Each structure stands twice: as C-alpha cells, then as structure tokens.
Amino acid sequence: MTSQATETKHWSFHTDLEKIGWLTINSPSGSVNTLSREAIMELETLVARFEDLASSDELVGVVLLSGKDSGFIAGADVSEFDAMSDFSVLPEALKRTHALFARIENLKVPVVAGIHGFCLGGGLELALACHYRIAVNDDKTRIGFPEVNLGIFPGFGGTGRSIRQAGPVDAMQIMLTGKMLRAGAARGLNLVDKLVRHRDMLRWEGRKAVLTKKKSTPAAMSKRLMAMGPLRPYVANKMREQAAKKARKEHYPAPYALIDLFEKHGDDWKAMIRGEIDAFVPLMGSPTATNLRRVFFLSEGLKKQGQKGAKFARVHVIGSGVMGGDIAAWCAYRGMSVTLQDLDMARIQPALDRAKKLFQKRYKKKREVDAAMLRLTPDPQGTGVSRADVIIEAVVEKLEVKQSIFSGIEDKLKPGAILATNTSSIELERIAEALKEPGRLIGLHFFNPVAQLPLVEVIRSTFNSDDAIGKGASFALAIGKSPVVVKSAPGFLVNRVLMPYMLGVVERVERGESKELLDAAAVAFGMPMGPVELMDTVGLDVGKSVATELGHAVPDGSKFARLIAEGKLGRKTGEGFYKWEKGKAVKGEAPEHPDLAGLGRELVKPLVDMTEVVLSEGVVASPELADIGVIMGTGFAPFLGGPLKARADGRA
C-alpha cells in the first residue's frame, strides 16, 4: 500500500511499498516544466518531508521524474527574470535556492534524477544536486546550460557542480558556449551516470539505483588538475582568448564574469558555488541581459504563429543554385520529401553535393545521411510539382523568368498547395500578374546561408488572404525557421534596411577609406560581420541586383561595377572586395582609430534610419517585429535589443 500522495500545483509525491519516494514535476501551464519561484517554494516543503521520512526510516530514496512529454525541466521561468533582476529581491532568492539544492544533496537517502527530453539550465542544476542521473539516449534528449544566451550564467549552483562532475575545462566549455549535449555526450562528460533506451525504463532503473544506493563519482584527478595551482590562471586566460573571438566583453559580459569566477575558485567547487551569487547578480539586471531577454520573448512569439494541425510532407524547389539548392537540402534535413528542379542534372548535381556535406555535418551516422539523401530527389522534368504540398521558386531575380515559371505550373498544382517565391526584392504583385489566382502566390524569403540563419520573411501581397499567409508561417515553423510576416514592398524588411548600410560603406571604400577599418568598426559596434565582408559573402552580383531593384544606382566606373564585370563576385568566386581562402576573407591590418565603436555607430545609422521608415510604411506590423526581423536577418547586435530599441536607448 502506498502512502497518501501529496499534490501541489507543480509537483506530486508518493512512496511505494519499498519506501521509494516518487517525485514528479508537471508545471500547470505550458508544454515544458520550468522552475518558477512558486515551484521552488513548493519543493522546499517537499524536501522537508523527505528529511522527516528519511530520519524515521520511512524513505529509502527518491526518484525525480517529469510528467511532461517534452522533457525533464527546461530551466528557470524566464518570464520571472525581469522582476527577479531587482537587487533587493535576487540575492535572497538565489541564496534560498542554493540552500534548497544543498539540502537535496545532503539528504541521507539517494535522490535519482530520471531525464528525458530537455534538461537545461536550472533543470540541469537541480539534476546535478541529485546523487545519480539516468538519461534516455535518444534524439530528443538535450542537456546543457543555455544561460549565456540570455546574458547570464548558471546561478543555482551549477557552476561548481558541473566542474565537480565534468572537470573544469569541459564544464566551463559547456557553460561558455551554451551548447546542448545529447545524452551520450553528457554521459561521456560524467554529467549523466547511466543511459537507457526508452523513457519507460526510467522508473525501473531509478528504482534499482535507489535500492543499490548508487552515487555519482566526481571527475578524475587528471581532469581536476587543470584548475589547480598556476595552471588555473593559464587556463582562464586561454578561455578569455577564445571568448574574445566570439564576443566582446563590453557587449557580452557574462562569459568573462564566469571566467573571472573560475580563476578565483575553480579549484574548489563548493567555493565556486558560494561565489556564484555575487558574480551573477550584476549580470541579471544589465542592459545586455535585459535586451537578450527581450529578444528571447520576441523569438518565442514568432513560434506561436501559423495554423494548428498544418502538415507538410512534400516540397518542390525550382532552381538549384545556392539558395534553391540549400532550401531543398534544409527541407530534406528537416524530414520532408523534396524534389529539386533545374534545366538538367549538371546544374542540380552541385546542390546535391552541398546537401550531402550539410547532412554529414549535422548527422552522426552514415545511415542518417543516406536517408536524407534519399529524401532529396533531382527532378529536371518537374514531375514533383503536382504532388507537392509546397512549391518554392528560387531562380534568378528577373521578373519575366519568375512570371513564366509560375504561369507554366499553376494548372498542375494540387488543391491547397502553397505556391511561393524566394524573391529577395521584387514585389509579389508584379510576379503574380500572370497568374489566374494571384492570391495563391506568397513570398518565402530565406537568407544565406540557409542552414544557419533562422529568419524567413513571409511576404504578403495585396492579393493574399490570412489563410495563405498562415500556411506560409506554418511551413516556416515546420522546417525550424522563424517567420516574420512583411508586406510586399521593394526589398521587404531585411534587404530594404541592409542596402543603405552596405552601399554606404561601399561608397566610403570607393573614396579610399580602409575596408578593413570599416569592417572592424561595424564589429566593434556589435555587428557579427563587417558590411564589406558581408557584401562579398552575399555576392556582389546579388548585391547589385537588389540595389538596382531598390533604386540604388551602381555607377559603371566604380570599383564595385568593375569587380562584377571581371567576375570577381566575392566569396563564391574566391575574390571580391577581399580575396578569399578556405572560405575566409584575407584581410590586411586596419588603421588605428580613436573611437572604433563610434565609427561603427555612424556606419550603422542608415540601417536604423531605414528600419524606422519601413515601420512607418507598415511593411511590418510593430516595432517588435521590425527589431526581431532585423536581428535574425542581418545579425544586428542582439545585446542592443534591435535597431529601434537601440535608438530608443540612445545606443544607435
């Protein structure tokens, strides 16, 4: 007979005949579990009960499981972070959680965490406070510390406990990068103690672990040596060098604060935990963390678009160039059957070769690569059009070519299929003129490189219905992209705001200014890549085409025009404004400048100005959508919250 069950808002608990306690978390709202303040307070009460039961020999151990299909615990409740950033509230709340996790760790009976799906942030910190961890070894399990993406680092004792388990170098790498690990990798790093094949095995293995009093062992001495004596400052400096390659301290202070904490206390995991609060508190209320939270919520908001129940199995892509081929490969990677059409196999083959490289990079097993390649079928005759749920045109940016393609396939489409163009600048109304049903054509504008950039502009013409746009947003979500709905207008959102910025810098290069200096200034401001390097990456021919479409002249005698005439189109040809070797621009030394970030702000001003214009014209529905669209489409500094937020804050 089991003991009387305890039910709270977030937790349920009961003991069985073997005196094993079964603790289940099931957050009442949302599809994932989070550690809200309320959930933590309820857990305090439950842990007090565990202590009482253990002291009276009525409890031999506790197994912690999740009641949600999505996973274990996705972290702390981010919706509470703004309120928690108050200096009068946060330190005490952190101390309380630290004390609670220490009580769990100090229980006289074993506590076992059974992990499936997401085990992130505060969820991993709670799991690390347990004595033993079992994880499901499947494609859905993800374990890690993503806090750095929100401008902070683990604050519930995870810094010290991860170092205890994985060793200083591996643990710091996980925290500094925010990388999510599969279960097998987490086991290899000693963050997980045992792997099981299925979720339904967690209860059985959890029971065995309790009855045999399993306890995780810390990292081996060979790993801990890297945090001892004179090695620790050396390791810390190497970490700073690596961090500097990815983020500037003034933009993203969290990695550097974590490294400082490690340099002070990395040889003592308990001291690391004690020092965590003082280092964590200033970060939580910083402008960087505040803006990154804003970006997080805006990004999450994009995921709520689209239509419930919308399903897409077959995609047909017309045009196997860089964009078309990569769109097709991405759709196949996301599990869809894809037919890729072009004039002949000679044109399609390079796209298939690139697709295989993508699959080999993304998949661990050869059979997964082979399966993805089978999903991607060359289709020179276009036979896949009539079976496709989504047809995407991605040919050259010429109006008459696009019109000819769509008028030629309109009668072959199956009912309800999405008809889309990947045009980067041409108004949809002009393309749709030749169609019998112009309202059927929407824009799905992807960005290069397709596999890396998350944004898809879902372009709405005056002909489109809400249903057509909803389907487009649903498809973008189905392939793991973030849709931003924009009105059909020259350049839409991203290219419209990018062109004045990029062309303005190109004009300065034409006048003799150092391209290396201008690129360095943009990066100092917070852009991920300088505008000259970006133009080379996009392709000078593409840049000219978009510029012309938007009414920006490219003078015939300019260096820009000469490079295009000579076939020096940037990265794809090995030379543009820069020479390119092994996929990287070869740059000279940038001249000294007294205010590099100030120069960057000057360069970025046309982008910010144009974002305001685009918003005023109704191309996007809100400042929030404009900000998240420009961040995702251009890489505009996330720590500034977007161009409009940055200007409102006086930072752009």
d(CA 70, CA 120): 12
Give the angle 299-318-429 at the CA atoms, nearest 5°: 70
- Of the residues 14, 445, 552, 593, only one is catalytic, namely 445
Q: Dihedral of CA 272/276/277/279: which sign?
A: positive
Q: Are 120 and 180 in contact (CB under 8 A)?
A: yes
d(CA 351, CA 374): 14
Amino acid at the residue 228 = M
3-class SS of residue 133: strand
Strands 194-196 and 314-318, bridge-based pairing: unpaired
Token pair belonging to 574: 């090995």
Per the listing, tokens 């928690």 go with: 84
DSSP code string of 29-53: SSSS--B-HHHHHHHHHHHHHHHHH
Q: Are 601 and 646 in contact (CB under 8 A)?
A: no
Beta strands across the sheet bearing 376-378: 376-378, 337-341, 314-318, 390-393, 418-421, 441-445, 455-460, 482-487
Q: Which helix or strand (DSSP H or E) is residue 315 part of?
A: strand 314-318
d(CA 479, CA 250): 35
| 445 counts as catalytic | yes
d(CA 445, CA 456): 5
Return the bridge partners of 580, or none: 585
Q: Are 417 and 388 in contact (CB under 8 A)?
A: yes
Q: Are 8 and 27 in contact (CB under 8 A)?
A: no
372 CB neighbour count, 10 Å cutoff: 22
54 CB neighbour count, 10 Å cutoff: 18
Residues forming the active site: 445
